[in-house]
Every structure is written in C-alpha cells, then in structure tokens.
Amino acid sequence: MRAQPEQQAPPVQRLRIRYAKRGRLRFTSHRDFSRAFERAVFRARVPMAYSSGFNPHPRISYAGAAPTGSASEAEYLEIGLAEVVDPDAVRRSLEEALPDGLDVLEVVESPGGSLADRLAASRWLVDLDADATAATRAVDAFLGTETVLVQRMTKKGLREFDCRGAVVSLSASAREAGSRLDLVLRHAEPAVRPDDVLAGLAAVAGLDVGAAPLLTRLCQGPLDERTGEIGDPLRVGP
C-alpha cells in the first residue's frame, strides 16, 4: 500500500502583492511569469507554505492576469507563508530577485476573503496609430450601439460574444503620433479584453487601429457603479 504524503501545515500569514509588467517584459506569458516568481521567492528565501500531496508546491494564488503583450501597473497575487514576516522586507527581497520589468510595487498582509472577488474592473490606456478624429468618431459610434458582437479564438474554438456590455467608459484623445483610448472594463463572463473592444471599434466604424496597439493596464479593483471609479483592492472596504 502506497504511503500517504505528509500533510503540510496551513499558512500562518498571507500576503497580497501588486506588481508591474513593463517594457519588453510585457511579452512574458502568465506561465513564464509564474516560473520566474517561484524562482524569485526561492532566491529571496521567502518562507513559503506548501500544499499537501505527493507533489507539494508553494502556495501562490494568481488573480486577474493581463493578456500576454500587455503592459500593466496593476497585477496581483497572494502568497501563503510558513512564518510571519515583515511585508516590506518581502517586497525588497522580491524586487531584488526579479528581473527589471517585473517590478514588485506593494506587499500588504491579507485581510482575508477572496482577492479575485475584489478585482471587478480594470482601467486601460490604449495607444493607437489611428488619427484622433477617426478614433473619436469610432468611440461615439461604439457607445451609441447597444450590442457589438466580436469573435475571438479560444481553446474551445472560435467564439462570438458582445463586447459592448462590459465597457463602463471609453474616450479618445490625441497624442503625438496617433490617438489614445481611455477604457474602463467591467470583469464579466465571458471576459472582455481591450483587444476585443478594438475589434468592436473596427466592426462598428471601420477603425484601423494600426499594426501594434500598446495596451497598458493602469489599475484594477472594486468598481463603484455610481461613479465608474476603480478602488484599491489591497485596501479594506468597498
């Protein structure tokens, strides 16, 4: 009879971490980042708690990861620890252990509950080659349409869904070489991404967004439905 694996003790502390993906590191996939982060906690000697079973793994929970190729100032994860530590000491250690471009911005003690449930919406900046006047007209047409159907290839094949309902707000402005969209997206099911909204703008107004739009997530967190503002998910409260 096969011996049962040793049962690991539950974490004695949980920390929530905000990190950024910048520059060329925005092309890091979620799988590649998770590997880099696990190596970083080992090098930084963070006293991780481990799962039970025949293949224990460090207790790391990822939430709301941005699509590969997107820059972000607001990515989040939670770690479970076997010892109580100073959150800021963990931040400094991880910052040294991770490569430049994967930058730890804040580490706080978890108040409990689900981190993922606090990530209800995201704000994005989208830089386009498109002329600002054309972008503004496309935004007006998009916002004036009740339903905008787009298609995206998923693991289960080509899927069609409405990208309009997830858009809380959308505006366009000029920049030096093109235009910029300011977009707030509600996290819904199915998940709507900024590139889906770009496909919607092309569908309703024929907007040519150029070869490589730059997507940058500025924040994500709880959504105030009255004001459209996004709160800080690391702070207790709404």
Range with the lowest mean pLDDT among 20-24, 53-57, 194-198? 53-57
Residue 227 lies in a domain: no
27 found inside a domain: yes
CA distances from 219 to 4, 124, 235 (A): 44, 8, 13
Rounded Cα–Cα distance for residues 171 and 74 (Å): 21
Question: Which CATH number covers residue 95?
Answer: 3.30.70.580
Q: How confident is the model at residue 9 (pLDDT cuts 50, 70, 90)?
A: confident
Instruction: Report CA torsion sign: 17, 23, 29, 35.
Output: negative
Q: Is 49 a domain residue?
A: yes
Given 65, 99, 117, which residue is the final one in a domain?
117
Q: Is residue 228 part of a domain?
A: no
Residue that is last in its domain, among 92, 117, 142: 117
Two structure tokens written together for 129:
């080659």
Q: What's the rounded mean pLDDT across residues 146-164?
A: 90
Split into its structural domains, the chain has a count of 2
Q: How confident is the model at residue 56 (pLDDT cuts 50, 70, 90)?
A: confident
190-207: pLDDT as tens digits: 899 999 999 999 999 999
Among all chains, which residue has been given the structure tokens 């093109």?
178
The CATH code of the domain that includes 180 is 3.30.70
112 and 17 share one domain: yes
Among 68-72, 116-120, 157-161, which stretch is predicted with the lowest mean pLDDT?
A: 157-161
Residue 179 — pLDDT band, cuts 50, 70, 90?
very high
Out of 117, 147, 174, a domain closes at 117
Does residue 163 surpass a pLDDT of 70?
yes
Residue 201: both structure tokens together: 């703008």
d(CA 35, CA 125): 28
pTM comes to 0.91
Find all residues with CB under 8 Å of 144, minimum gap 6, and list them: none
**Residue 37, CA distances (Å) to 106, 112, 146, 171 in order:** 15, 22, 42, 35
Same domain, 134 and 175: yes
Closest CA relative to residue 134, chosen from 177, 165, 173, 183: 173
Whole-number pLDDT of residue 237: 60
The pLDDT of residue 131 is: 93
Do 113 and 17 have their domain in common?
Answer: yes
| pLDDT for position 210 | 84
111 with 155, same domain: the answer is: no
Determine the pLDDT at residue 177: 86
Q: Which residues, at least 6 apart from 66, have a Cβ–Cβ distance to it below 8 Å?
A: 21, 72, 75, 215, 217
Closest of 94, 56, 69 to residue 193, by C-alpha: 69
Of the pLDDT bands very low, low, confident and very high (cuts 50, 70, 90), residue 55 is confident
Residue 77's domain spans which residues? 13-117
* pLDDT tens, position by position, 75-130: 999 999 999 999 999 999 999 999 999 999 999 999 999 999 999 999 999 999 99
Can you give the length of the chain in residues? 238
Residues 111 and 201 in one domain: no
Indicate the residue type of 41. Answer: V
Q: What is the mean pLDDT of the chain?
A: 93
Residue 204 resides in a domain: yes
